[in-house]
Amino acid sequence: MANLITPDRSVASTNHYAKLLLICLQPRWGVCWSVFFLLLNGTALKAATNNDIAPIPQNFISPSELISHKQQIAEIQDIFLQPNSNIQSNSPQLYYQIKPQILIAAPDNFTPRLRSQEVPLNLIAAPDNLVPNQQVQPPAQSAPTPSPAPPAQLAPTPASTPTPTTPPLPTVQPPASLPEANPSATIQNAVLPSFSLDNLQINFRNDVDKFGRENRFIEPTAQFRLSNGNIVQLKTGFNYFKYPGLEDVSNIPLTLGYQTKINQVTLQAGVGVDVFNRLPTAINFNTKVDVPVGNNITLSGVVEQGLYKFNAETLENQIRTWRYGPNLYWQIDRNTSLFSLLRLGNYNDGNFEQQSFSRLERKFGPFSIAANLFNWSYNEDYSEKSGYFSPPDFLVFTGEVALESEIFDFLRCRVAASLGQQRLRGEFSNANSYEGRCTGKISQNIDADFGYVFSNVQNQETGNSQYNNQSFTGVLRFKF
């Protein structure tokens, strides 16, 4: 009985499961099961998504950040590539200044004629007071390079926050501080001029003596500075010579000069032509080398060749000279200087000359004292033959006292007097000279000098008659 009952329970259980399965397979229960599995799969998908997404690193840069950095880099590149017209070269350039009290020791007028210009006190003058001073322009201060701002650090996105959609990209605007490029201005700034006009100086001098001799010189000189610092000078003018018993002579000179510097050596050279109203055209040239010796000493060598413009008679006789010799300038201290020269000359008429001059000067504020020694000798006296003063032995020594001061802001004047002795053919006589000169500032770039000199130092044979000479001088300077 027990065995028979057991199979019946199994059959009954089987029937119950079959009925339950048939009920679940009905259409309405199929919809319920579909909803159940859909909810179950959605929850699992959400859990998987939250667990699989990695956290955003702290150095993550968004697209807007990348665009901002790109804009800053473009601005930096534009700054470096933009031409800058204010850039200055730090290459040395040459600057030439005129030492106050320029001394001219010419055979035709012993009395020194002085010109004044303001210069720094630390300059050392060369023998002819042309002071080469090399100044290095400080390099232009470049603007600091703007560095891009560090990228902003982003806070990590919480795990529960869904990933946002990509925002629209912002429009990149050009920097407003950068000027628009001008091609014509860029080309103009890039091309440097080959030369420029530095200054223009017009020299005037008129010498008249008691015997009717007159020499007048009007010579403008234009000075140009090349891009490499060298100097080109162009000189012309109109000269007039008058001598009793001779027809007047007019002269138009034209001279081209060049000046450069090699290390510490200054080189000057010039070539020119003289055109006359009734005389043949003549060519002349000159050269000069300045070499610094020690800290305050400059030694120079000079060579000159051309017509001897002593008076109308020497021009009429076509007297030509070769002159050469050394110059020495020593700036002993701030207020004391020594200048000395030696000239040897060969004349085309067979004569030979020796000329020496020395000047020791000391300044005391606006006052100054100086001692001058001049010696001049020729192998032959050709005064009658060739027309120029050619003493076999001529000696002059004088002492000078001068005062130079600023009268007004625009006017500076100097007065000087010298007393001494002169010896000609073994006979002594007084040697005196007086000088006055004023320098006026007309404008910021224009100034003028006017001077007068009276001297009885002999410049030609006068017999028993006393000699005197008057000189009117003037300089007009334009600075550019």
Least confident stretch, 17-31, 108-122, 223-237, 415-429: 108-122
CATH of 103-134+191-479, one of 2.40.160.40, 3.40.640.10, 3.40.50.300, 1.10.287.3510: 2.40.160.40
- Pick the most confident of 1-5, 279-283, 383-387, 466-470: 279-283
Q: Which residues contact 29 (CB under 8 A, 6 or more apart)?
A: 23
Interhelix angle for 2-24 vs 27-52, to 10°? 70
Q: Under 8 Å CB-to-CB from 72, ≥6 apart: which residues? A: 146, 148, 149
- Side-chain half-sphere exposure of 78, counting CA atoms within 13 A: 14
Q: Using one digit for the tens of pLDDT, what is the confidence trace for 460-475?
A: 776 666 788 999 999 9
Residue predicted with more confidence, 105 or 413: 413
pLDDT score for 179: 47
- pLDDT tens for 237-289 read 999 999 999 999 999 999 999 999 999 999 999 999 999 999 999 999 999 99
Spatial separation of the C-alpha atoms in residues 342 and 328, rounded to whole Å: 9
Residue 101, amino acid:
Q
**Shortest CA distance to 423 belongs to which of 356, 375, 351?**
375
Q: Quick check: 133 pLDDT over 80?
A: no
Q: What's the rounded Cα separation, in Å, for the pair 71 and 174? A: 8
pLDDT 10s digits, 324-350: 999 999 999 999 999 999 999 999 999
CB atoms inside a 10 Å sphere around CB 113:
20
What rounded mean pLDDT belongs to the chain?
74
